Structure 1
Amino acid sequence: MEDQDGGRLDTGRHWKTSRSWSRLAEFLFFCVVLLANAPRAVDSQGAMKSVVRFQANGIARTDTLLRYRKKVPAMRGFTVCFRIRLLQARDEDAVFSYAVEDEANEIYLGLNFKKQIFILACCSNPVYEELALSIDLKQWLSVCVALDLDDKIWHLSAGGLTSSGKVKIGRDDGFAVREGGLLLLGQDQDILDGGLNKFQSLHADLSDLRFYDYVLPESVMKSYTECSIHINVVPKIGFQDLEKDFDLLNVDLFESYEGSFCSKDNNFTIVLPEPRTFKDSALVCHTSGGTLSVPYTSADKRKLYETAEPYDSRCSESTIDSFWLGVRGDPETQEWRHYYSNTPLSYTNFAYGSGLNISQESNCVSFVASANTVESRHGIWFSMNCFEERCAICHFNKVEVLHARGLCVESEFDRDYFLSFENNSISFSGVYYSQIVKNPAVTDPVTGITSYGSWTLFRLDKPDIQATLEMTSPTDYPIGFNTWIVKNDRCGQYNMTLVLTSCGFGTVFLQ
């Protein structure tokens, strides 16, 4: 192990006798840190924080990264904290890669979505740990990891949950992280400043990264990851001045409120802007892993109105109640119930005279999200015939994975997808490298016949590998059983029958 001047550190008696003084200084320092960071809640907004988006176009690549411009010190312990939101996974999601001349993994921190683990490597590889970690796509995760090289203990905190353990190494002599190397964020170095692999890169949003050249108290790490404190101690390396401290290569920068990183509410809604019957609307929500939305309070009603209103003109031209709610009426009990759980509702918001009499002909509920009516009618409910057509507002508790069955073993397409709404259009993102996008209708110049459009499945990093699904109606989605026309996949097929569906919900019986 080398000191800051490149010489060997004495690991004998001097190190052993000085260690007690080091421990005393460490204890006093921790007391200062704890006092400086007395717990106080981060409010729903908090301060604005810089966010770095890696691989904004979704293409796995090696030229999108942050390169630290300054010197990394030698150290016998460290803590790294950060907030991350995976937009897609890679074979391995490289977050932090510090390499020196003869060792690529002097410090390496990464995620493996498939295995649901956090990877910690250090110090010429006597340290390599795979630590269990729950990782979701498109949801913020706050992480702190620390390594004590004296006591050979690791600590991991994520989402307020902490764990620790002994480092599994074979040698007992002192060792440390060496100085003078190169730190990259968003890529994994296999050699110093090189050997990058697009399958070990990062497609994610990263914020509030903090690197300390000592081990933070576990209570501070825990509080950081549950957003109950601000760490007021300035880190050795951080995002305080990104453009001064880092070379920013092919990344996007934006700002977000600090409170958004630790929201406990992972629910979200997606509007499917094509009119369908109630049954078909429920079906497309369920096969995508969601349910039709139901407001339970006036606050829910306002939020749902704000979500749906931008799509009102696409959903109806002749009515103000353009959306379905997940509500059904029971003609026998004259109760309005949640259509899936069958639970009676304690909150309703029917227009005057509507919803008083439940019949088989009018036992579904539509929702007003039109700006072309007086404000008092925003979010009003109407009793409606279930065979009318309205747009669906799908509610998701989290990102739900849809499984693609029918691909050959050699296929380069992803096996898992999730419904996404980006740039004002519906798509299905592969968990790793693929995407399914909708193509607009096309008019044949000879016949004058206009198609309904199509869906294209393709590899983002290999766009010549693709498959096409022709639509037979304007409401067709690429879920369920469908036959695709394939080009350039390894399966050697021309036609492929693919089943794309979520297994998260049972069958919904709707009359």
Structure 2
Amino acid sequence: MGRLGIISFLAVVGLNIAVDTSITEETRSDAESLRGKVLVFPSQGIQDYAVLHPREPIDLSEFTLCLRVATELSGQREVILFSYFNNQGDGLNVWRELNGQLSLYLHSSEHAAIFSLPGLSALETHICVTWESSSGLTAFWVDGKQSLRKIYQKGLQILPGGMVILGQDQDELGGKFDEKQSFVGEISDVHLWNYVLPSCAIRDVYERKSTIWGNIINWESIKYTLFGDVKVWPTKIY
């Protein structure tokens, strides 16, 4: 007998039982590990995105953020790669700019650390960005190679209480998306540490040799919620 049939039968025999018939998308998603998987964002729009649920609050005076990205979006098109929005606004955002540069925005939607780096493509690119408040030192890493360093947002603290979203830029907490900034392509191996990894460790992460994964966001065990048509696919290497 199906579930609805059982509920009807219990009602007929007079048993007063409250049954939760709701099955949320989050419940289904959280049950599936992302180890060895990619998230696929199939089309431009505001409907497709993923919410990540970090194991610890995002309360940062320094960090290392890494992820793998593949996209065919090109031309004069902003692309959001990582969005953390809190009560103070844009907390930690990583973008591909209109001209193809990569940028980091901390507590600002206007003032960024912008870097001229190899462009994104349909081939997977591994990106890391490091920042520390005490010095303001900021750098990007592309496929294990470090950029020059810049001074950005010295003395800042990234505060907890926000939301992490992949695929869309948050102009308010959890919403107010712009389809012309949405991500289309594949994202995987998102890791966030609350400290700056040494260069040798970042290279190990790029080469998938690391045994130390993000202590704030760990792709191997992260809980997540999918919206729209975002799909989970296996990577080719596993």
- State the TM-score bracket (shorter-chain normalisation): 0.7 to 0.9
Q: Which runs of 5+ in 1 are unaligned?
A: 1-47, 260-511
1:83 has 2:68 as partner: yes
Counterpart in 2 of 1:110? 95
Aligned with 2:226 (options 248, 253, 277): 248
Q: Which runs of 4+ in 1 moved over 4 A?
A: 124-127
The one of the two structures with greater contact order (alpha-carbon pairs below 8 A, sep at least 6) is 2
Q: Deviations over 1:382-427 (max 9, x none)?
A: xxxxxxxxxxxxxxxxxxxxxxxxxxxxxxxxxxxxxxxxxxxxxx
Q: Deviations over 1:152-173 (max 9, x none)?
A: 101211023211323245xx6x
Query: Structure 1 residue aligned with 2:149, among 165, 170, 174?
Result: 165
Aligned length: 200
> What aligned pairs does 1:456-471 form with structure 2 within 5 A after superposition?
none
**8 Å Cα contact 2:85/2:173 also seen in 1:** yes
* Residue number in structure 2 paired with 1:464: none
| Residue 50, structure 1, aligned to residue 9, structure 2 | no
1:130-158 C-alpha deviation (Å, 9 max, x unpaired) = 11121242111111111111111012110
For the residues of structure 1 that align with 2:73 and 2:83, how far apart are their CA atoms?
19
Normalization by structure 2: what TM-score?
Answer: 0.76
Shift of 1:241: 3.3
Aligned residue for 1:68, secondary structure, equals strand
Match of 2:85, as an amino acid? Answer: A
Offset at 1:95? 1.2
Summarize the Cα distance change of 1:153–1:64 in structure 2 as closer, same or farther, 3 Å threshold: same
Residues 218, 126 of structure 1: alpha-carbon distance in 2 compared, 3 angstrom cutoff: farther
Contact 1:157/1:222 (<8 A) preserved = no
Taking structure 1 as the reference length, what is the TM-score of the superposition?
Answer: 0.37
Q: Could you say what the CA RMSD is over the residues aligned between the two structures, in angstroms?
A: 2.2
- Partner in structure 2 of residue 232 of structure 1: 211
Superposed displacement of residue 116, structure 1: 2.2
Given the alignment, which residue of 90, 97, 110 partners 2:83?
97
Q: Between Structure 1 and Structure 2, whose CA radius of gyration is higher?
A: 1
Letter in 2 for 1:252: K
**Deviation by residue 1:332-379 (Cα, 9 ceiling, x = unmatched):** xxxxxxxxxxxxxxxxxxxxxxxxxxxxxxxxxxxxxxxxxxxxxxxx
Q: Report sequence identity in percent.
A: 20
Q: Look up the equivalent residue of 1:101 and give its one-letter code.
A: N
Distance 1:238 1:88, change over 3 A: same
CA–CA distance in 1 between the matches of 2:129 and 2:237? 20
CA contact (8 A) 1:162 1:222 kept: no
> Is 2:135 aligned against 1:151?
yes
CA deviations on 1:423-474 (whole Å, 9 max, x unpaired) are xxxxxxxxxxxxxxxxxxxxxxxxxxxxxxxxxxxxxxxxxxxxxxxxxxxx
5 Å-filtered alignment, 1:301-340, equals none
CA contact 2:138–2:152 (8 Å) conserved in 1:
no
Matched with 2:31 is none
